[in-house]
Chain A
């Protein structure tokens, strides 16, 4: 029996953007407020999982042809990379740098290397989450 999932599909088409936006917001909010790479990654990952649940794996895979194992690996690479980058500047392991920059349109912006580390964490979480869900659902 085929389940009628018109409502789910229609709602998800809208909701998934809200979920993903929330994920990105949480990720950037993490610097000074609650949020951060792990939470942001979880929300982004669950958005992607929602897509996989609503539409079938092939359809989503056509839109996002990533191997999520490699996404996770890339995340760990980014995080450890930002951690050891300090070694090349003669600073202790994991030392982070930050500074204020002037940009046209944006004005004064606070940029830190922690963001790179957090991006790594987020990618790792997304990659792991999606890999786990896919590996359970693959062999029906």
Chain B
């Protein structure tokens, strides 16, 4: 009985509700929401330590033993992502304090951010596939509101499309769940894995798994990303950063769980499809990033490239590839949050969105420019920053798994990423400054703090890679050998 596991989800929900009652006390709302995230970070770090020493932990809700009840399972992979997501949310909150504006704050901005992180953390921690659906929906409902919050014309328009696409995706999730339940008669992920292994993943199960692949690909923006650029460019900057860092990554997490734990047997079909989708995603993302003139478009297509790159690790099906994917996933969450915050701030400072119309920002804001330089290097994978080790390990995994096409595509995409971001650096940061000293808008101190914290995370993650290695290795080991997970969940109920 490990009640502590549920805290990363339930504490944000409870404080979110308390904040609804504190609508008029904005200062208090800020303090409480930040304290909540601090608490969640602390609890998750503690859990991560416990899991290293004592193995995977689980909590059976209401004491119903698996496979009958629903449960939360804390393994290293889930906890690493919960920790990353919580840190990013805390930093984005700091940025939001300075920039979001009182109107949003009174429209329940903080409660919805907390609901969002509750859904995200719940999705990472749950050990029951239907519960995963519910947590997905909690997260999506909060994200619907956050896209539309503010009620501008463009926002409402994009929000409607975003909601409808996700409703259809959720519907497909339910269809897949129905067929899965009809076939294996259980919803506990570990139990599903066991039953699938007994049945030997026949064609119908492979079809169900492909259905799950389509659902999660829609959520993750893997190949089916047509909805992503529109809806990610309309909300306020802090929300954009949260979305870019968290939402698609939950889909990626779900893909990893589905195809390492539940349906790992028919790899020549499923992993081939994932590999092809990842490759096409990278190509399409690169085209978008190269063609984009709008800074926000370039940034959103960079999100898509990264999704494709992370899933190369899954497609290789090797432990090294998994470790690389986890590493790169964590790195990418930090880097994309920072990139979106920076891009949003650039738009705020200049009032322009087209790359060529901005110029010389680094003269007006030197530190800002250098932080952009750091995130660019990290995303391109230049050592010693955080992107390097992830790329290296994914590359190694691809060689072990003999996926040379994906390897070539992945590393070619690094050059495109570098080029697309370098273009912004050269055009917008260097050159003659267009903003005179008098018209220069100051960057709020809290926003600068948020940038520096995220940049610091990128540097620490890269330089201190050795220190994080045990956690990542443990997570990758559990992914590569699902029997550890199954044993931990079902072991003592036999």
Contacts and interface: CB of A to CB of B under 8 A. Distances in A.
Of residues A70, A77, A86, A96, which shows the largest number of chain B Cβ atoms within 10 Å of its Cβ? A77
Nearest to A93: B6
A127 to B, nearest CB: 10
Interface in B36-66: 59-63
A84 B20 contact: no
A84 to B, nearest CB: 6
Contact of B14 (A69, A84, A91): A84
Interface in B212-258: none
Contacts, number: 44
B188 to A, nearest CB: 16
Interface residues of B, number: 15
Taking each of B14, B17, B20, B60, which has the highest tally of chain A beta carbons within 10 Å of its own beta carbon? B17
B61 A77 contact: no
Nearest to B61: A94
Contacts of B1: 90-92
A87 interface: yes
B59 A93 contact: yes
Interface string A32-74: 0000000000000000000000000000000000000110010
B10 A84 contact: yes
A84 B10 CA distance: 8
Contacts of B63: 91-92, 95
Contacts of B59: 92-93
A80 interface: yes
A92 B17 contact: no
Contacts of A87: 3
B21 A83 contact: no
B13 A93 contact: no
A69 B16 CA distance: 13
A76 interface: yes
Nearest to B19: A73
A44 B13 CA distance: 25
A70 B3 CA distance: 28
A73 B21 contact: yes
Contacts of B13: 76, 80
Contact of B17 (A77, A83, A84, A96): A77
B21 A70 contact: yes
B61 A92 contact: yes
Contacts of A84: 6, 10, 14
B230 to A, nearest CB: 25
A80 B62 contact: no
Given A69-B20, A94-B61, A77 B3 contact: no
Given A70-B20, A91-B1, A92-B61, 18 more contacts: A70-B21, A73-B17, A73-B21, A76-B13, A80-B13, A80-B14, A80-B17, A84-B6, A84-B10, A86-B62, A87-B3, A92-B1, A92-B3, A93-B6, A93-B59, A93-B61, A94-B62, A96-B62
12 contacts: A73-B21, A77-B14, A84-B14, A86-B62, A87-B3, A91-B1, A92-B59, A92-B62, A92-B63, A93-B3, A93-B10, A95-B62
Interface of B: 1, 3, 6, 10, 13-14, 17-18, 20-21, 59-63
Interface of A: 69-70, 73, 76-77, 80-81, 83-84, 86-87, 90-96
